[in-house]
Amino acid sequence: MIELKDIAFTAYPAADVASLARFYKDSLGIEFAEPYIENGVALYCEARVGSGYFSLMTSAWMGVAAGSCASIAFEVADIEAAFATLRERGIATEEIHVTPVCKLGSFFDPEGNKVTLHESTLAP
């Protein structure tokens, strides 16, 4: 049996890693570490989020087209406030969906990757 300990990182493909990192910093406040650069081009960067890392990687490195991902869901304390901030910044968002255990909604980054924000409504 394989014992999984945690999620090390999740990566999103990017045509322009540096530009996409700026979008995530400006829209969600994600602070990325210095990128890995070859020939003057950022190929990879990552940011600590919770116990793991959110990474951006060139689509050539990932073997996946830029804009083709839709799997990340960031936990937020107040999804209504987060969506209001995104809309103030000119980012189109979906409506917030309310379920018995959470509230969630999505938007797209500039390269077309889907990003979901999630607020758990279960008592800790």
Averages of pLDDT over runs of 10 residues in the chain (124 residues) are 85 96 97 96 96 95 92 94 96 97 96 95 84
The class of domain 9-120 in CATH terms is alpha beta
Quote the pTM value: 0.90
What residue type is assigned to position 94 of the chain?
A: E
Contact present, 75 and 28 (Cβ < 8 Å): no
pLDDT of residue 73: 94
- How is the chain split into domains, by residue range? 9-120
pLDDT of residue 77: 93
Contact present, 66 and 21 (Cβ < 8 Å): no
Structure tokens of 93?
């968002």
